[in-house]
Amino acid sequence: MGARASEAPYFSEDVALLMSLADVFSHVLENLHLQERKLEQEHRAQELSLHASRSELKALRAQINPHFLFNALNSIAGLIHRDPAVTVSVALPLLRQEPRAQQPQEIAR
């Protein structure tokens, strides 16, 4: 320790107080560090949860799209037998459309 401004000697109580303050500050710094790590872990957990939800949504879309196509084609096949001219005039423009690009959708929580 350096000299005091008043040149008064250090007493054992002064040293004990300084050591106690240093101990308190070290605990405060450690607590702040642990809180920061906890926030980082929570943020990472949220990111993983969002990624899992998006993956699940993508998997569900992959299952739904073939079923939708199958049902649509079955409906067209059934309508062709009833009224071929109307079915062709309605279905052909729909089938000629380019598939829409699927935009990723956010999952509301």
- Interval 25-63: pLDDT, tens: 999 999 999 999 999 999 999 999 999 999 999 888 888
Scanning the chain, the segments in alpha helix (DSSP H) are 12-82, 84-96
Position 97 scores a pLDDT of 67
Other Cβ atoms closer than 10 A to 72: 13
Degrees, nearest 5: CA angle 17-19-24: 95
pTM above 0.75, yes or no: no
- Of 42, 105, 95, 58, which Cα lies nearest the Cα of 73? 95
71-88, pLDDT tens digit by residue?
888 888 888 888 888 888
Q: Are 22 and 63 in contact, with CB atoms under 8 Å apart?
A: no
